[in-house]
Amino acid sequence: MATITATANIAGVGTVPKIVVSQPSTPAVYRFIKLNGRVITAHNRKYSVSDRLMYDDIALLSGNTKRFIKAVKKSFKINFTYLPSQTDKTVDGQYGRDYLQSLVADRGTIELFVQDVPNHAGYTYSAYMTVYKEDLIRRDYNTGCYYYNVSLELTES
């Protein structure tokens, strides 16, 4: 039987989700990424964030080059190893490869919610998918589940 914590209201901040999900036979899993409002699994996930500069270089008459920074966008890289295609086969029962593939097929703007500190309100970004790569590594014919190595990159819009 799984134990799931509820949400808590903090004055002045709003509703803060509790992110620990525990099951009797598995260790606690911290969830902190949502794509379009759906929690993405923590199944063998690696996550990194970097800043990307959007700029123009202009050559001056003196021969020097001047750089004008237009914007600083965040780039989010998420890698999964041995990610099941079916939701019920992931370590925490959250969305897996099939949902990520459906986001690629939609080709629209994605609402990305990131909560990288437990009990913190988190941040919401509007992003688009710039890189999606998957490799099929195993087919389990008994359960009908396929396992993939998935790599994706989202850039803030």
Domain residue extents for the chain: 31-156
Calpha distance 92→48 (Å, rounded): 21
For residue range 32-81, what is the model confidence (pLDDT) as tens digits?
899 999 999 988 999 999 999 999 999 999 999 999 999 999 999 999 99
For residue range 94-136, what is the model confidence (pLDDT) as tens digits?
999 999 999 998 888 999 999 877 778 889 999 999 999 999 9
Calpha distance 26→2 (Å, rounded): 10
> For residue 24, with 0-12 CB atoms within 10 Å meaning exposed, 13-18 middle and 19 or more buried, which class applies?
exposed
Query: Which residues fall within 8 angstroms of residue 146, CB to CB, at 6 or more apart?
Result: 84, 85, 97, 136, 138, 139, 140
Calpha distance 92→30 (Å, rounded): 10
